[in-house]
């Protein structure tokens, strides 16, 4: 169930489980494959909505040293100032889906994989979430935004995984310049995670 938290400023923050992120991507994919890819880039790779349209096939590379897929992306500088380039991480299954999408849509190496505006990306998330909310009669989905996908990605890797990723690695691949910049994204651990952690 989507976890919703109201802030003092009247804003709503949501955290989705891995399964809920997958559900959202599938829901979007039922409309268009491109929408599924966009949501995967946010929910599985931690991109901001305005970073999604900047990714090209030529940005993606396999790192022999890291034994993983990485891709270059220009994103927000959380210290302020000019945007910064970073190497973001891409799960194997996301790379396979994107590679197939690129081949079937005949996208050139220097062309955006998701060739729409950031506002369209945000709208796709809202529409998919609203569709799930109507089908499941779950109010939590009505509050889900594109930024919640990045928030959920950070919480999963730093808090919920059995083998959490170290903070410095997450800061590097997620584009945060300090712990104070990443901390607001994190959610309290679930009861299941508390039980797992304390029984080790």
Per-residue model confidence (pLDDT) at position 147: 93
Please give the distance of CA 183 from its chain centroid, rounded to a whole number.
Answer: 16
The average confidence (pLDDT) of the chain is 91
Cα distance between residue 177 and residue 18, in whole Å: 25
Cα distance between residue 176 and residue 58, in whole Å: 24
Per-residue model confidence (pLDDT) at position 30: 98
Which CATH number characterizes residue 49's domain? Answer: 1.10.443.10
Q: Which residue has the higher pLDDT, 152 or 81?
A: 152
What torsion do the CA atoms of 118, 119, 125, 131 make, to the nearest 10 degrees?
-150
Per-residue model confidence (pLDDT) at position 34: 99
The pLDDT of 125-136, averaged and rounded, is 96
Cα distance between residue 83 and residue 15, in whole Å: 26
Q: Are 47 and 88 in contact (CB under 8 A)?
A: yes
Question: At 95, is the pLDDT very low, low, confident or very high (cuts 50, 70, 90)?
Answer: very high
The pLDDT of 46-50, averaged and rounded, is 97
**Residue 8 above 70 pLDDT?**
no
137-185 confidence digits (pLDDT tens): 888 899 999 999 999 999 999 988 889 899 999 999 999 988 888 887 7
DSSP 87-131: EEEE-HHHHHHHHHHHHHHT--TTS-SS-S-HHHHHHHHHHHHHH
Q: How many domains does the chain have?
A: 1
Q: Are 76 and 83 in contact (CB under 8 A)?
A: yes
Domain region containing 174: 3-198
> Which position has the token pair 């309290």?
188
Q: Where are the alpha helices (DSSP H) in 8-162?
A: 18-29, 33-43, 92-105, 118-136, 146-155
């Amino acid at each position: 169930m989507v976890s919703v938290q109201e802030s003092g400023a009247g804003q709503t923050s949501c955290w989705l489980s891995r399964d809920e992120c997958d559900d959202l991507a599938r829901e979007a994919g039922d409309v268009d494959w491109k929408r599924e890819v966009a949501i995967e880039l946010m929910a599985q790779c931690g991109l901001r909505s305005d970073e999604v349209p900047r990714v090209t096939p030529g940005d993606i590379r396999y790192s022999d040293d890291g034994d993983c897929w990485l891709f270059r992306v220009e994103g927000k500088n959380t210290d302020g100032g000019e945007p910064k380039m970073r190497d973001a991480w891409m799960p194997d299954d996301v790379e396979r889906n994107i590679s197939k999408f690129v081949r079937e849509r005949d996208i050139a190496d220097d062309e955006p994989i998701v060739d729409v505006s950031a506002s369209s990306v945000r709208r796709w998330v809202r529409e998919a979430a609203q569709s799930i909310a109507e089908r499941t009669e779950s109010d939590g989905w009505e509050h889900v935004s594109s930024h919640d996908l990045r928030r959920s990605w950070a919480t999963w890797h730093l808090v919920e995984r059995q083998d959490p990723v170290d903070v410095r690695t997450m800061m590097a691949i997620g584009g945060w310049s300090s712990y104070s910049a990443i901390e607001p994204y994190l959610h309290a651990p679930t009861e299941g995670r508390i039980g797992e952690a304390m029984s080790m």
